[in-house]
Structure 1
Amino acid sequence: MNVPASAAPELDSIVESARAAFAEATTPADLENAKAQYLGKTGRLTELMKGLGALPVEEKKTRGAAINVVKQAVEGALNARRQALQDAELDRQLRAEALDVTLPGRQRGMGGLHPISLAWERIEAIFGSMGFDVADGPEIESDWFNFTALNNPPNHPARSMQDTFYVDMKDEDGQPYCLRTHTSPMQIRYATAHAKAQAERLARGEMSEIRVIAPGRTYRVDNDATHSPMFHQVEGLWLGENVSFKDLKVTYLNFCKAFFETDDLILRFRPSYFPFTEPSAEIDIQFQTGPLAGKWLEVSGSGQVHPQVVRNMGLDPERFIGFAFGSGIDRLAMLRYGVNDLRLFFEGDVRFLRQFS
């Protein structure tokens, strides 16, 4: 710093004093306060600059030059300290936000199948081992497949048993489409698709039969602890030349024993009414051991397929007889897993669902 000798001691002291004040500042705010003491409106250098007006011209030049040199030195010290504070803050942030790459990564937890999906897959596997095909069909169904073809024509009183959701769209007969109330329409769809092949087998003198289950989502206007507007059902159908109620009982009993993994249960068939079967029966199950021992629990509707339904399949009811049943997958899952409120399956509570993973 080239400062005239006469002014050097005084101005040098200002530079040293400013450097010391800046060094003591530990925050940007402290630094700005220190800056004001030297470069502010009332700062020491500002006051010196104001005093130049009273000096002679020659001295004013010399004194002004010296003050400018000192001002530059003070500003340099200020900027250096400002940069030092910024570097220190950045270093602090980097240390606070540092990623320790030596730690193991946080892995995403493994998921699992929903309990309804577990029951669904188990049902398909068990009936598959008995020779049943698995069929799938539309959830928005026409009046023909959902009602009429199942011997449940328009204005029939039995339709009140299946309050449902209708779609703002009509079929070729002018009837509204609906969200299917059961998977029973797959009886008609599957049998119709296979009717020609079955007729050809009969013509060749070969054994002919239809054996299929149809699991899927269904919909009815119902909602409480044991019913949901959307629920899951599995429809079963076995048609052949010598299929009887005895086959229904044996088939369903074997299914229940396999599904619940116990032989300590019995079935009961109670007379009932369904428009698409005649005779019809409700199937009740009773466990002989466990928390539900001794209680009769309804698990399915069933019956011998009505001759008119067989005709609607495109088959001869004199040749094809058999049974059908419809079971709630949700109900079976509740019994298997000991769940007492159907709504738990659909609330998405991870604490509940994690038990089945």
Structure 2
Amino acid sequence: METIAYENIEALKKEVEAFEITNEATLEQFRQQYLSKKGAIPELMSKIKDIAPEERRNYGAAVNALKQLAEEKWRSHKERLEQLPEAVEPPIDLTLPPLTEPMGGVHPLSIVRRQIVQVLERMGFCQADGPEIEDDFHNFTGLNFPPDHPAREMQDTFFIERNPDILLRTHTSSVQIRVMKNNRPPMRMFSVGRVYRNEAISARAHCIFHQIEGFFIDKAVSFADLKQTLYHFAKELFGKETQIRLRPSYFPFTEPSAELDISCNICKGKGCNICKYSGWVEIGGAGMIHPNVLENCGIDPEEYTGFAFGMGLERITMLKYQIKDLRLFTENDWRFLEQFEGLF
């Protein structure tokens, strides 16, 4: 059996008597510390079973007296606090300006998207849209992708079904096929939207991103028309001092094809870490529409020619605002987003 430590009870009694209760918060603190189920006094009472039988009566009386003291103190202070007059609120000053909630801003991708749409519409392009869930013909076959092209593999593309192939579109070029099949030249169209590719998420890649695609089809359209269109687009979007450079490349749906570079708007062509000290940064691809694509859409390539161009919205936004991590666009971090308030 446990030996009674009356000095513990006496010490606790002095604590209870010295405890200052001045408001509702300290009243609740007093109750939690001494009278709640896990408080100090119930803990003493739970030890009665461990006390020697001949001492239990005296021990119980001492603890019970302590409990009554604490309960009486709690009750008297509770009644005193309830009788205190409520704090009087100061009068409302109707001449003060109203308190307003912080206003939201436009997402940086939406800002640049609107700017691009305005530039293309001023150049005579009309906006078109298409589904994000596509079939094989509109996403691959109609665009002259060969059967063994890597983009048709599961590791590069999100397929929903196979045979027939239903997938999340890998580019907005599928909208080009839909417009060309349902309309006759001349056509000057563009589309903006989400696209999906099976890529690991990093600072430079994401499985979901946005593309801008434009094309023009008419009689006697040449590569010179494409060059001047891209030149005017770059100057409107990045500034009058911007220069462009076209490098030979390959795409299944254009021939000839080119990569589009612009002069670095950070170092003005002198060389920096953004342009890898070359003075140029890549923003997209372009080229003359392949005759096979025109035939797949029922357009005679002997009578009509056309050009097409495409670029990533995230890429352009990162260049305009010197953003180094692609993941910032989808993390919803207010510290990042609030920097773009009032830009559009």
What's the TM-score, normalizing by structure 1? Answer: 0.66
- Does the C-alpha gap of structure 1 residues 90 and 185 become closer, same or farther in structure 2, counting only changes over 3 Å? farther
> Aligned AA for 2:320?
R
1:118 is the counterpart of 2:111: yes
**Residue 187 of structure 1 corresponds to which residue in structure 2?**
176
**Residue 72 of structure 1 corresponds to which residue in structure 2?**
none
Q: C-alpha deviations, 1:278-326, integer Å up to 9, x for none?
A: 1111111113764664422111111110111111222111112111111
Q: Tell me the CA shift for residue 175 of structure 1.
A: 2.5
Larger radius of gyration: 1
- Does the C-alpha gap of structure 1 residues 189 and 229 become closer, same or farther in structure 2, counting only changes over 3 Å? same
**Residue 43 of structure 1 corresponds to which residue in structure 2?**
none
Q: Comparing both structures, which one devotes a greater share of its residues to helix?
A: 1
1:95 is the counterpart of 2:95: no
1:210 is the counterpart of 2:203: no
- In structure 2, what is the Cα distance between the partners aligned to 1:27 and 1:178? 65
Residues 273, 280 of structure 1: 8 Å contact kept: yes
- In structure 1, what is the Cα distance between the partners aligned to 2:154 and 2:308? 18
1:332 is the counterpart of 2:316: yes
Q: How many residues align?
A: 262
Residues 286, 293 of structure 1: 8 Å contact kept: no
Q: 1:297-316 alignment to 2 at 5 Å?
A: 297-316=281-300
Q: 1:217-256 alignment to 2 at 5 Å?
A: 217-222=194-199, 223-256=201-234
- In structure 2, what is the Cα distance between the partners aligned to 1:191 and 1:162? 29
Q: 1:103-142 alignment to 2 at 5 Å?
A: 105-142=98-135
Residues 195, 210 of structure 2: 8 Å contact kept: yes
Q: Tell me the CA shift for residue 88 of structure 1.
A: 5.4
Q: Tell me the CA shift for residue 263 of structure 1.
A: 2.1
Unpaired runs of at least 5, structure 1: 1-25, 30-81, 199-207
- In structure 1, what is the Cα distance between the partners aligned to 2:322 and 2:247? 25
- Does the C-alpha gap of structure 1 residues 350 and 307 become closer, same or farther in structure 2, counting only changes over 3 Å? same
1:257 is the counterpart of 2:235: yes
Residues 151, 309 of structure 1: 8 Å contact kept: yes
Residues 194, 211 of structure 2: 8 Å contact kept: yes
Residues 277, 303 of structure 1: 8 Å contact kept: yes
What's the TM-score, normalizing by structure 2? Answer: 0.69
> Aligned AA for 2:329?
F
- In structure 2, what is the Cα distance between the partners aligned to 1:293 and 1:221? 36
Q: 1:35-184 alignment to 2 at 5 Å?
A: 89=82, 92=85, 94-95=86-87, 101-102=92-93, 105-157=98-150, 159=152, 163-167=156-160, 169-170=161-162, 174-184=163-173
The CA RMSD over aligned residues, in Å, is: 3.0
> Aligned AA for 1:180?
R
1:346 is the counterpart of 2:324: no
Q: C-alpha deviations, 1:88-112, integer Å up to 9, x for none?
A: 52655x428x586447654211111
